[in-house]
Amino acid sequence: MTYIGHGGKEIVERVLEPEKAAEAIKGLTPVPIRGQIAREIIDIAYGFFTPLEGFMTRADVEGVCNEMKLANGILWPIPIVFDISTEEINEKGIKEGDKLLLTYQDKPMAILEVEEIFTYDKQEMALKVYGTTEDKHPGVARTYNYKDKFIGGKITLVNPPKINPPFDEFFFTPKQMRQKFAEKGWQRIVAHQTRNVPHTGHEWLMKGAWLSAHGELPVEKTVTGVLVNAIIGEKRKGDYIDEAIVLCHDVLRKAGYFREDVHMTSITLWDMRYAGPKEAVFHAILRSNLGLTHHMFGRDHAGVGTYYDPYDAHRIFDQFPEDALNIKPVRVLAWWYCPVCGEVTYSGLCGHKEQSQNFSGTLIRSIIQDGVKPPRLIFRPEVFDLIMECAEKYGFGSAFVTDKYLKERNPVFTLPDMKY
């Protein structure tokens, strides 16, 4: 079946069959890659990044930085680049027209067709994408850490990854995801982007977004769903551990806080850039390729520090025509606890702002670190119990990323052995 993704382009899986792959990699120059590039190869190969077929050429990077468009005119907000050092290019004799074998953890992963080798001013890239050149911004720091040259060209996956437990039951390619939606009979699906374990404020964000997305549709039959799409990528100390994020969102459904036929949890491999409004657009593109029809955007979506206004991610969608995206933004304010109302309620409706209590990250973290079960108005008991369980089972005693977790955690994916 043909599926159409972002920009009106067909979703194509760039994956070779094992027999063809073994033959295709013979004699190719191996180039080792880091985790970020490996994750982006998976995203490109399976169509998460449609219409991209590989890493961007200079024309694409210039278009994205200056106009938020690819060279072909399709909306795209963040450069997806393959960086490499001049020393490595010279050492391996890499030139335009070559094919390279990209290896990850000493195993073959993908073929990169070297269409163009180019340079780009990293400070200019940072300023155009993130609106700042301060390396305190994590996206800027990532950009400055790129090597001095870039290779643009198509990639082909030759060694599909094995997704490891507990993530294996939550990983769906765009084609698989669309098939799941069809099986569920969902006509509208709203995305909840997350990097956190869910407190009740998150739960009500999703429920409010479901109501917005469902809109005028009949209520006798469920045709609208919520997809939690957890971003899994490079971790920093103090982040929530990946296992807790995914499993705790899933338990909201298992424990009945969402019906089985309206809620689903999934993962996408991506290293957050914290690009605020531009990352909001990127997330919308990503989820449209997964087949979603709506995307919820709350306060300070994908932001960091004070680099962006809390609602810049809402306003950016007014900058381009609706047909530039085949997904609709659902703009929401915060949900807070109101002691006067006696419940978690929507800040756009509650008239008790002075008495309201926000779900602050500091408060939530302190609750988890103390390990004392909070009122169910803050955390559902099943969620809190599972956070504690995940801390022991996966986090070496902590629900937050530690040095030990970074060094010894079970990887999200591994590559099978393959001779080359």
* pLDDT at residue 223, as a whole number: 97
Q: pLDDT band at 153, cuts 50/70/90?
A: very high
pLDDT above 80: residue 419? no
What average pLDDT does the chain have? 96
Residue 274, both tokens? 């914290």
Q: Is the pTM of this model over 0.85?
A: yes
* pLDDT at residue 258, as a whole number: 98
pLDDT above 90: residue 103? yes
User: What span, in angstroms and rounded, lies between the C-alpha atoms of 230 and 194?
Assistant: 5
* pLDDT at residue 110, as a whole number: 98
pLDDT above 90: residue 66? yes
Residue 163, both tokens? 């997704």
pLDDT above 90: residue 372? no
Residue 305, both tokens? 């520090």
Q: pLDDT band at 362, cuts 50/70/90?
A: confident
Q: pLDDT band at 157, cuts 50/70/90?
A: very high
* pLDDT at residue 152, as a whole number: 98
Residue 68 DSSP SS3: coil
Q: pLDDT band at 336, cuts 50/70/90?
A: very high
Which has the closest alpha carbon to 109: 37, 60, 174, 51? 37
Residue 224, both tokens? 């609208």
User: What span, in angstroms and rounded, lies between the C-alpha atoms of 380 and 292?
Assistant: 27
* pLDDT at residue 322, as a whole number: 86
Please state, in angstroms and as integers, the Cα–Cα distance from residue 248 to each residue in 61, 337, 383, following that order.
38, 21, 5
Pair 351, 234: CB distance under 8 Å: no
The dihedral sign for the CA sequence 83, 86, 87, 89: positive
* pLDDT at residue 420, as a whole number: 73
Please state, in angstroms and as integers, the Cα–Cα distance from residue 114 to each residue in 52, 54, 75, 80, following that order.
15, 10, 24, 15
Q: pLDDT band at 360, cuts 50/70/90?
A: confident
- Predicted confidence (pLDDT) per residue in 160-197, tens digit: 999 999 999 999 999 999 999 999 999 999 999 999 99
pLDDT above 90: residue 349? yes
Domains and CATH numbers, the chain: 6-160 (3.10.400.10), 168-413 (3.40.50.620)
Residue 357, both tokens? 């209590």
Q: pLDDT band at 141, cuts 50/70/90?
A: very high
What backbone torsions phi and psi does residue 404 show, to the nearest 5 degrees? -65, -40
Pair 105, 32: CB distance under 8 Å: no
> Which parts of 35-163 are beta strand (E)?
54-55, 82-84, 99-104, 107-113, 116-118, 149-157, 162-163
Chain-centroid distance of CA 340 in Å reads 37
pLDDT above 90: residue 78? yes
Pair 212, 257: CB distance under 8 Å: no
Q: Other C-beta atoms within 10 Å of 406: how many?
A: 13
* pLDDT at residue 361, as a whole number: 82
Mean pLDDT of 238-257: 98
- Predicted confidence (pLDDT) per residue in 194-241, tens digit: 999 999 999 999 999 999 999 999 999 999 999 999 999 999 999 999
Percent helix, strand and coil across the chain, each rounded to 5? 35, 20, 45
Q: Other C-beta atoms within 10 Å of 90: how many?
A: 9
Q: In sequence order, what are the beta bridge partners of 111?
A: 101, 156
What backbone torsions phi and psi does residue 296 show, to the nearest 5 degrees? -80, 135
* pLDDT at residue 363, as a whole number: 86
Considering the chain, what percentage of its residues have pLDDT values greater than 70?
A: 100
> Which parts of 50-139 are beta strand (E)?
54-55, 82-84, 99-104, 107-113, 116-118
- Predicted confidence (pLDDT) per residue in 260-270, tens digit: 999 999 999 99
User: What span, in angstroms and rounded, lies between the C-alpha atoms of 283 and 297?
Assistant: 10
